Structure 1
Amino acid sequence: MRMSAVQARLERYLELMKKMKSYEEALGVLYWDMRTGAPRKGLETRAEVVGVLSTELFKLGTSSEMGELLAALSEREAFESLSRVHQRSVTENKKEYDRSKKIPPELYQKYVVLASQAETAWEECKPKSDFETFRPYLEQVVSYQKQFIELWGYEDNKYDTLLDSYEPGMTVKKLDAVFGALREKLVPLVAAIAEKPPLDTSFMRRKVPTERQRAFSEYILKEIGYDFAAGRLDPTTHPFATGLNPGDVRVTTRYIEDDFKNALFSTIHEGGHALYEQNISPELIGTNLCTGTSMGIHESQSRLWENMIGRSRPFWERYYGELQRMTPELGDVALDDFYRAVNEVKASLIRTEADELTYNLHIMVRYELEKLLMNDELQVADLPEAWNAKYKEYLGIEPPNHELGVLQDVHWSGGGFGYFPSYSLGNMYAAQMMAAMREALPSFDADVAAGRFEPIKAWLTDKIYKHGRLLTPSEVIRNVAGAELDPTFLTDYLEKKYKEIYKL
């Protein structure tokens, strides 16, 4: 193929990509609006709008023109003439094209509308603990997921296909081994802590007005480097971050007056996601590479900032005085007591409120149930009973209602099956990244204790953020740590931290 022809095809390909990214950005704004205050009466119609736009986006990505362009640009001579960015864009897009082409557009549109309606139904049913009203929506979502798996194909386990959507290359076999290694180390540690006298954390339930929580949340976001000129903070039912482009990355949180740490750490968590998205290289804007490379790598940043920095002693040596000044309700609480309280280990019902140590057990519950559902070993109608049994087995506690149990997460209503393992993978990536960063930045603790986050953010940007999806998850962790993912970094970090806190 002549170079002029290659260039012409590349330009047309980039035009299509830019158009697709425009649709994605519009859909991102619509989704954000639906979850942050859109009028309830308009949500059903909005779901239809989302369905139409999503289908148009889907059609663009699976069009015959896109297929012809990808095929031509994938030919060896043409491919080798492309820049590294364009090669990676074509490779990723072809994988997505081949996968999406197997889904009929009309089936996809019905699914998108259903998923949007299911999320709205979940929001209404959760506070009422009403699983039976929500069940038909979830049954349909699960049915669509199974149809997609059959269309996409699979080798060893049906669930592998869903895992690969969020963490390329991940399989049930690999994940079972990783979770097994975590259980072996963490269960004895949790048991040892359970034998210690419980910490007095009653002051954490003091009522803190929403406005004070909001002010401190905004302050902390600015301190860690979140750019408010390229984002905003809003309340929602289930916190999330939306990256429309590096110049517009929005963060949400949930304020609970008698549980101020919920908003505080949710804000830092979502802020970690946002720092990733705000610092992607400008050269990737308008391409399919202008996003995080995988859910696991994305979660590594939210968990790193929330837990490994945000719950660390150096962090609160710097910011506890500010918290007390802005939140006088904590004026009589000593720093040591506060530090131990935000790192308390206690079996809990809610995943988003779980401590670092038991968090992975919450993920294992969901992982086990998802595998059963997708392999026809569990029916949606039996999900609440199975959920409660798993919580009893893994955490020794049982939900008193569905709001605190099977209805607590939004993910399944939107079809996010295969997503939950990303949280645990994020913890593992984060611990390995932290070890590498501490080695590269000997003044790490001193910088955190002084509120100097510029060196940390610069290092993360150089190693992770700026690359977007240009690097694969394996390439990212090798770029950071010079090795593949190793779960022992997480267990070593947790053992050291919690043995010190609980004096084991």
Structure 2
Amino acid sequence: MTALDELMAFQRETEALSQVAGRLGWDQETMMPDGAVDQRAEEHGAMAGVLHARRIDPRIGDWLARAEPADEVSAANLALIRRDFERTAKVPARLATALAQETSRAHRIWAQARAEEDVAAFLPALSRVLDLRREEAACVAGDADPYDALLDDYEPGATAAQLSTMFGALRPRLSELRARILDRPAPPGLAGDFPEAAQLALSQELALAFGYDLNMGRIDKAVHPFSSGSGLDVRITTRTVPADPFNCFYSTIHEVGHAAYEQGIDRAHLLTPVGAGVSMGVHESQSRIYENQLGRSEAFTGWLYGRMRDRFGDIGIANERDFFACVNRVSSGFIRTEADEVQYNLHVLLRFDLERALVAGDLAVTDLEAAWNDRFAADFGFAVDKPSHGVLQDVHWSEGLFGYFPTYSLGNVYAGCLHEALRGAVPDLDAQLARGDTSGATGWLRENVQRFGGLYQPVELIGRAAGRTPDEGPLLSYLETKFGAIYGI
């Protein structure tokens, strides 16, 4: 075997173990009994220790020194392995283990605190997680910005300075659009009975309509919907709200976007570094374009209107046009995951600014709730009424995912660029979506984005697919055109 062969065989085992570790997380969110928290924390820590040891195995350095890439794919795999090897070597094994253990415990502490509206109960756990992530960032960053070191985990090549410029261009136009819309009469809302079983049945129909392969996946319920896994085992979760079936349907479509990305990667890349999504921003571009530009389009909602009437009978909406406005209704709310397209990124930008301040030490954990509430009132014009609608609503910080939030808005920007290109490539897209047929759109995304996995860096991948350097322009134009028409502004 050549050095490249030996390295890739070793890496394949590491990738497989990483998938097993991910399955522990899926189980914790969906099936694990409450009493298993402490044992699961040890299990997470043990797996983190094993993976850390493998990722800094001295043989990797030797193989990398001797390996010769045979083609573009092997060159990309070598680059990704080198990046991971060099980064992981900077983080002590005891820190990697401690992070896995602490975040596993903190997740359940957060969930309990959220249920009991008790911020104080969560803050000690959050402080421990933050301290560990700061220590990790310091190990990796050296003299550079520690936040950039964390961001690079999720969006290779991105920096906080670059994103701040992009988000600075987004925020004023989104705020202005929001204000103009909220000054107009709101479209009618749904009315009727939406049993959970019927919601889940239509949710599965939607997953299949968007190309989710249930032979290699499954749909379960979770408090916070997510997607997990890659390759031949990609699982999603959704949730149900009795009076709001859209919560279930669009959570499902969103997570199918993530899952379809992983299922759509070329099978030749299975269990290699290239065989997974290249970044969370690109991942989010898939989930958001599935959910919004496709799933909330006037054409597709016309089809969904018929399916909802078939499932639920009278839903209080007179026609397809009113249903389209209902699906895209802009209204004041607290929850990021339930926010409309106009306001969603404003929620993300709030978190981006707060977590940067936390990592930098400019904001104390004890002051986080007050800072959140003050910023929310300034951005949205009303006060947070309870912690589960405020600082406790998201799972991310309990899991140590500092640097993750900005990828949500970056994914929206990427989705705007991809949607612009998709419209040009599939001129009869609306006619297809009106029949509930997403294959033209999802096929284009698979061919131009998903199948490559991690072969190209994020900006290069989106640039190749969209035919332009990614920027916020297409997203803002799409939102202003769509909601301008709905609200007559």
The TM-score, its normalising length taken from structure 2, stands at: 0.97
Report 1:178-189 matches (<5 A): 178-189=166-177
CA distance in structure 2 between the aligned counterparts of 1:106 and 1:333, rounded to whole angstroms: 61
Aligned partner letter, 2:201: A
CA distance in structure 2 between the aligned counterparts of 1:464 and 1:394, rounded to whole angstroms: 34
Equivalenced residue count is: 489
CA distance in structure 2 between the aligned counterparts of 1:350 and 1:455, rounded to whole angstroms: 32
* Matched-pair contact (CA < 8 Å) for 1:349–1:398: no
SS in 1 for 2:387: coil
Match of 1:230 in 2: 216
Residues 122-159 of structure 1: per-residue CA shift (max 9 Å, x gap): 11111111111111110011101111111112555331
Match of 2:59 in 1: 65
Match of 1:216 in 2: 202
Is 2:145 the partner of 1:128?
no
* Matched-pair contact (CA < 8 Å) for 1:349–1:397: no
* Matched-pair contact (CA < 8 Å) for 2:174–2:346: no
Is 2:127 the partner of 1:102?
no
Match of 1:115 in 2: 103
Match of 1:391 in 2: 376
Match of 1:25 in 2: 19
Is 2:473 the partner of 1:488?
yes
Q: 2:244 aligns with which of 259, 268, 274?
A: 259
Match of 1:423 in 2: 408
**How much does 1:454 deviate?**
2.1
Is 2:294 the partner of 1:309?
yes
Residues 445-492 of structure 1: per-residue CA shift (max 9 Å, x gap): 111112222222221111011100111111211211222112100000
* Matched-pair contact (CA < 8 Å) for 1:208–1:260: yes
Q: 1:138 aligns with which of 126, 147, 165?
A: 126
**How much does 1:200 deviate?**
2.9
Root-mean-square deviation (Å): 1.4
Q: 2:44 aligns with which of 37, 50, 69?
A: 50
* Matched-pair contact (CA < 8 Å) for 1:238–1:254: yes
> Which piece of structure 1 moves more, 49-58 or 323-332?
323-332
CA distance in structure 2 between the aligned counterparts of 1:346 and 1:323, rounded to whole angstroms: 22
CA distance in structure 2 between the aligned counterparts of 1:237 and 1:188, rounded to whole angstroms: 32
* Matched-pair contact (CA < 8 Å) for 2:302–2:324: no
Match of 1:457 in 2: 442
> Which piece of structure 1 moves more, 485-494 or 47-56?
47-56
Match of 1:278 in 2: 263
Is 2:162 the partner of 1:177?
no
Match of 1:12 in 2: 6
Aligned partner letter, 1:338: F
SS in 1 for 2:357: helix
CA distance in structure 1 between the aligned counterparts of 2:264 and 2:449, rounded to whole angstroms: 9
CA distance in structure 2 between the aligned counterparts of 1:332 and 1:237, rounded to whole angstroms: 29
CA distance in structure 1 between the aligned counterparts of 2:299 and 2:345, rounded to whole angstroms: 25
Aligned partner letter, 2:158: M
Aligned partner letter, 1:181: A
> Which piece of structure 1 moves more, 20-29 or 417-426?
20-29
**How much does 1:88 deviate?**
0.6
Q: 1:290 aligns with which of 275, 280, 284?
A: 275
* Matched-pair contact (CA < 8 Å) for 2:126–2:397: yes
CA distance in structure 1 between the aligned counterparts of 2:317 and 2:94, rounded to whole angstroms: 61
* Matched-pair contact (CA < 8 Å) for 1:208–1:258: yes
> Which piece of structure 1 moves more, 259-268 or 446-455?
446-455
* Matched-pair contact (CA < 8 Å) for 1:432–1:486: yes
CA distance in structure 1 between the aligned counterparts of 2:65 and 2:314, rounded to whole angstroms: 63
Unaligned runs of 5+ in 2: none
Percent identity among equivalent residues? 36
CA distance in structure 2 between the aligned counterparts of 1:158 and 1:282, rounded to whole angstroms: 36
Q: Which runs of 4+ in 1 moved over 6 A?
A: none
Q: 1:496 to 1:332 in 2, by over 3 A?
A: closer
CA distance in structure 1 between the aligned counterparts of 2:43 and 2:171, rounded to whole angstroms: 45
Q: 1:183 to 1:256 in 2, by over 3 A?
A: same
Is 2:87 the partner of 1:93?
no
SS in 2 for 1:403: helix
SS in 1 for 2:228: strand
Residues 375-433 of structure 1: per-residue CA shift (max 9 Å, x gap): 11001111000000110111112211111110000011111111111111111100110
CA distance in structure 2 between the aligned counterparts of 1:437 and 1:354, rounded to whole angstroms: 25
> Which piece of structure 1 moves more, 156-165 or 371-380?
156-165
Q: 2:324 aligns with which of 334, 339, 342?
A: 339
Q: 1:329 to 1:57 in 2, by over 3 A?
A: farther
CA distance in structure 2 between the aligned counterparts of 1:474 and 1:195, rounded to whole angstroms: 37
Residues 252-280 of structure 1: per-residue CA shift (max 9 Å, x gap): 00111122111111000001111111111
CA distance in structure 2 between the aligned counterparts of 1:333 and 1:235, rounded to whole angstroms: 31
Match of 1:3 in 2: none
Match of 1:153 in 2: 141
**How much does 1:247 deviate?**
1.7
* Matched-pair contact (CA < 8 Å) for 2:317–2:323: no
CA distance in structure 1 between the aligned counterparts of 2:145 and 2:54, rounded to whole angstroms: 30
* Matched-pair contact (CA < 8 Å) for 2:193–2:312: no
* Matched-pair contact (CA < 8 Å) for 1:348–1:397: no
Aligned partner letter, 1:213: Q
CA distance in structure 2 between the aligned counterparts of 1:484 and 1:109, rounded to whole angstroms: 39
CA distance in structure 2 between the aligned counterparts of 1:269 and 1:433, rounded to whole angstroms: 16
* Matched-pair contact (CA < 8 Å) for 2:357–2:363: yes
**How much does 1:83 deviate?**
2.0
The TM-score, its normalising length taken from structure 1, stands at: 0.94
Is 2:426 the partner of 1:432?
no
SS in 2 for 1:127: helix
**How much does 1:286 deviate?**
1.6
SS in 2 for 1:169: coil
Unaligned runs of 5+ in 1: 1-6
* Matched-pair contact (CA < 8 Å) for 2:332–2:380: yes
**How much does 1:329 deviate?**
5.1
* Matched-pair contact (CA < 8 Å) for 1:18–1:287: yes
Q: 1:374 aligns with which of 348, 359, 362?
A: 359
